[in-house]
Amino acid sequence: MTQRYGSFAIAFGSGFAVLTIEIAGARLIAPVFGLSVVPWTAVIGVILAALAVGSHLGGRMADVGRIPLSRVLVVAGLTGILPIIGAGLPWVARDLLGFIPGAVASALVLFAPSVLCLGMVVPYLVQADTESLDAVGRRAGDLSAAATAGSILGSFLTGFVLLPAMPLTVLLGVTSGSLVLMSLYTAHLLGSSENPTLLLAALAMPVLGAMGGSPPDTLFAEQTLYSSVVVTERPWGDGQIVRELWQNGGSSSAEYDDGTPAHVYAQASLLLLDAAALYPDKALVLGGAALTLPVALRSRDHRLKVDVIEIDPAVTELASTYFAYGEVSEGIRVVHEDARVFLRRSEGGYGLVYLDVFDHLLTVPWTMVTSEALQAMSAELSPDGVFMANVLSPLEGPGTEFLSRFRATLDEAFVDVRLYLTDEALDPGATQNLIVVASNDLTVLPELDWGQTTIKSGGRPLTDAWAPVEYLQAKVFAQGLRWR
């Protein structure tokens, strides 16, 4: 009976570890691939494939009996540190293979080896725990259920507790060390032998994870419930010191020492408002990050009241601690809620609605660029109100397909839509910031001496039922991502 309960504990632990590796793995490659459907699909698909192969091999290896399960778990623990020591691989894979193949290759190299070993656990335990063919089905079912129960708890505990509680590399190190400890317990339970010095390796793995620290320009790094966030301070190309907030690898806010925006899109947006002589009294900013743009809007006109919708309260705390918002918060109200939920209950009346919700280097959350979402934003405007948004896209090549589809969607939601360039001297094949300015009244926006894109609406508008945003924006990577 002791061996049976011990087998259940091992199966449970292996299932827990699989989900920890899966969830932490998606976060690990987020700085390179974001947290869109692309990396999640790559990680989930690779892990399921590794489990299937592991189960297939495990059944045959268990019948042969030459390699004990404890050795398999040792390999699982040792390969579990691959994401720590190979943290630079996703960048190389993306550069060499492209966006989608790079995500798959990264998951294969970093996560498949350890998960493949964990897929062998249940077949081994079934073979060890079965004394009669009459009971093999029940034993297999019970052990599979224990592994699945471990995965269920692992998904909730990792996502809601462990990720926010410790650095990502430490979590992966703890997981690897736990697998090595589990190998020692398995050796004791099933009567095989393992070198007791493995205990030292198990204790060293979390330390290795802690040593995988942040670059010297990092002021703060954390895994929140919503994203991987980092605050850095470093000189930019012009020599000025810039403090940045990074979310999932993308620079979502950037400020100079005096608190003014460093990002081109924020600077251009303020200049466009000035050029058009637009001075709303109430603004809605969807996506707060470090609140650099709301602070800049208030500095431009102190009469302006700004409502900011930011889903992650931890990010707002960072804005208060490390950025200008900590000193200039008057007139800015931050609501911690999903933007689509807020739009359903808002009473509107805004003179300016600014969509600023980039999820990664290029992508925006697809839920914020559909016809339904944009029409809800359009309804928030006062009769003479203006909608603005920042979009990243090249101006030629296959990477423009998202911009064409997005413009078609904008045309459904607004009467007058314009896409302004932030730098007319840029190579049209380079990915660049474009500022959307739209209104529901043809008389609101004046004609400006400011360059606009020549890309027209094309294709079906994006909808909640069909918005292949990640696929469309992956074409930017396919044509060769460059910024100048």
163-216 pLDDT tens trace: 888 888 889 999 999 999 999 999 888 877 666 667 676 767 777 776 765 666
What's the confidence (pLDDT) of residue 236?
Answer: 93
Residue predicted with more confidence, 479 or 70: 70
Kindly report the average pLDDT of the chain as a whole number.
90
| Least trusted range by pLDDT, from 1-5, 258-262, 347-351 | 1-5
- pLDDT band of 361, cuts 50, 70, 90: low
User: Is 34 a residue whose pLDDT tops 80?
Assistant: no
- pLDDT band of 134, cuts 50, 70, 90: low
* CA 79/CA 67 separation, integer angstroms: 17
Average the pLDDT over 408-413 and give the result: 97
Q: Do the two domains 2-211 and 220-478 of this chain adopt the same fold?
A: no
State pTM to two decimals: 0.86
User: Is 474 a residue whose pLDDT tops 80?
Assistant: no
Average the pLDDT over 94-118 and give the result: 92
- pLDDT band of 480, cuts 50, 70, 90: low
| Least trusted range by pLDDT, from 85-94, 299-308, 378-387 | 85-94
| Least trusted range by pLDDT, from 51-55, 211-215, 251-255, 375-379 | 211-215
What's the confidence (pLDDT) of residue 175?
Answer: 94
| Least trusted range by pLDDT, from 261-270, 353-362, 461-470 | 353-362
What superfamily in CATH does domain 220-478 come from? Vaccinia Virus protein VP39 (3.40.50.150)
Q: Under CATH, which number does the domain 2-211 receive?
A: 1.20.1250
For residue 95, what are the CA distances in angstroms to 1, 70, 224, 253? 54, 38, 28, 25
Average the pLDDT over 124-149 and give the result: 83
End-to-end CA distance of the chain: 68
Average the pLDDT over 323-349 and give the result: 94
Average the pLDDT over 354-379 and give the result: 88
For the chain, give every domain's residue range.
2-211, 220-478
Average the pLDDT over 366-395 and give the result: 96
